[in-house]
Amino acid sequence: MKPVAAIFDIGKTNKKLFLFDEDYHIVEEYSTRFDEISDEDGFPCEDIKALKNWLTSQLKEKSTSGEFDIRAVNFSAYGASLVYLDESGQTLTPLYNYLKPYPENLAESLYQNYGGKEAFSIATASPALGSLNSGLQLYRLKKEQTHVFQNVKYALHLPQYLSSIVSGRYVDEITSIGCHTAIWDFQKADHHQWVRQEGIAAKFPAIVTAQQTIMAGQYCVGSGLHDSSAALIPYLQNFKEPFVLLSTGTWAISLNPFNHIPLTGAELAQDCLCYLKYTGKPVKASRLFSGHEHEEQVKRIAAHFNRQVSAFNNLPFDPDKMTWLEKNITQQIIGTDNGSGFKSRALAEFKDAAIAYHQLIIDLVKQQAKSTQLVMQGPAVNKIFVDGGFSRNEIYMQLLARQFPDIEVYAATVAQATALGAALVIANSWNSKGSPDAPIMLRRYH
């Protein structure tokens, strides 16, 4: 049987399983989606039970197929999501959605008790994002559902919860702690003061590094990683000169692991933050919700022009449409906190759906260039790598390269860097060949 690592890559929309061989080639790939359910307030959220059942059934099916020798299992998943477990390991609440509105008075009281919003945010390298700061989710549970909070034995970030399903081990992990959680003090490299004083720290299990694994039955099980941090690992392994990784999916996140300049208030105000690498070192990052915006605006364009959403999947870059847009449509919009500005455009201005779609990408890329520029201080960056959904969008890549004429812009043709990173980080525990170069195929755009 072929020795493989099974990597579960859990996005907000798509749930995927990859089997990597010892050369880090994907030999099998499976993908599914689940309908959201509602929490007690009627807000949509992840169906954590369906996710757990799918994960365990997939692992059992592949392990008993007679085709693969699954030596290791690891997990990458989106951040800002906590699973609350009781003494027996059962979930106590729904997996609350990080987009759920957060009570302003509750957040403000926390900030004021611990030095004010800006000082708090700088110390934790986390913009004030409400539910997107997972630590504030736990604080909310303490204040609004005290009886539930008292029964929480472990609060696990989603990647570590998924790991615990297979390993039976409850741990916290540094990349999940360091993704805009408002939990970690980046200067002290420890839990922030508020986490201890509010009794939150007691709900988190022991911290491990991403390289640590545990044997659970036949599997060597990793602790799981935050997806954006996992996506960096193949690039850090292959490229030593300064680069920026633009990791695209629901979020488009620009990551510069070579920028160690402390976060400023001005950067925070523009949705910059720091992540933690799997080594525990900070990574300067900026974020846009542009994958989500793209999805929503494509639906709007499709409905207006009576087209299928799928019609926009592989539209070619058309210079003539660019020329028409430059002559006929105002182009100065570069976006706001609420998006690229395309949603304020009247679709009746556009001759057809393809022209409207080109304008959407123009607006998204202009905003993206501004966002990426925010993390490019420090050593001179000479390469930008784009992975994820937008790396396969010809229009997006052509326009992004135009925004950075003095920098080499590449699309990563292996768009599964997140899962690959989760396989690479535990290589010493399962791969008899060690860590050969990650198989990243790049296409340069000019």
Q: How confident is the model at residue 417 (pLDDT cuts 50, 70, 90)?
A: confident
In terms of Cα–Cα distance, which of 76, 64, 430, 2 is closest to 220? 430
- Tell me: pLDDT of 54 over 70: yes
Tell me phi and psi for residue 59, to 5 degrees.
-65, -40
Tens digit of pLDDT for each residue in 61-94? 999 999 999 999 999 999 999 999 999 999 999 9
Tens digit of pLDDT for each residue in 183-217? 999 989 999 999 999 999 999 999 999 999 999 99
pLDDT score for 190: 94
- Tell me: pLDDT of 337 over 70: no
Q: How confident is the model at residue 412 (pLDDT cuts 50, 70, 90)?
A: confident
In terms of Cα–Cα distance, which of 171, 169, 210, 165 is closest to 55? 165
Domain boundaries defined on the chain: 2-223, 226-446
What is the C-alpha to C-alpha distance for residues 102 and 129, in angstroms, rounded to an integer? 9
- Does domain 2-223 bear CATH number 3.30.565.10? no
In terms of Cα–Cα distance, which of 165, 205, 163, 170 is closest to 77? 163
Tens digit of pLDDT for each residue in 115-168? 999 999 999 999 999 999 999 999 999 999 999 999 999 999 999 999 999 999
pLDDT score for 289: 92
- Asked whether this chain's domains 2-223 and 226-446 adopt the same fold, the reply is yes
Count CB atoms within 10 A of the CB of residue 253.
29
Q: List the Cα angle 31/37/39 in 5-degree steps.
A: 135
Range name among 11-20, 23-32, 412-421 with the lowest pLDDT average: 412-421
Which top CATH class is 226-446?
alpha beta
Residue-wise burial string across 172-211, b where 16 or more C-beta atoms lie within 10 A, e elsewhere: bbbbbbbbbbbbbebeeeebbebbeebebbebbbebbebe
What is the C-alpha to C-alpha distance for residues 108 and 399, in angstroms, rounded to an integer? 40
pLDDT score for 414: 65
pLDDT score for 315: 96
Mention every residue, 6+ apart, whose C-beta is less than 8 A from residue 178.
125, 184, 186, 226, 229, 274, 275, 276, 282
- What is the rounded average pLDDT for all residues in the chain? 94
Tens digit of pLDDT for each residue in 242-283? 999 998 988 899 999 999 888 998 998 888 999 999 988 899
- Tell me: pLDDT of 437 over 80: no
- Tell me: pLDDT of 415 over 70: no
Tell me phi and psi for residue 170, to 5 degrees.
-110, 115
pLDDT score for 306: 97
Find out whether 248 and 386 touch, Cβ atoms under 8 Å: yes
Count CB atoms within 10 A of the CB of residue 70.
20
In terms of Cα–Cα distance, which of 58, 49, 48 is closest to 17? 58
Find out whether 385 and 244 touch, Cβ atoms under 8 Å: yes
Mean pLDDT over 42-60 rounds to 97
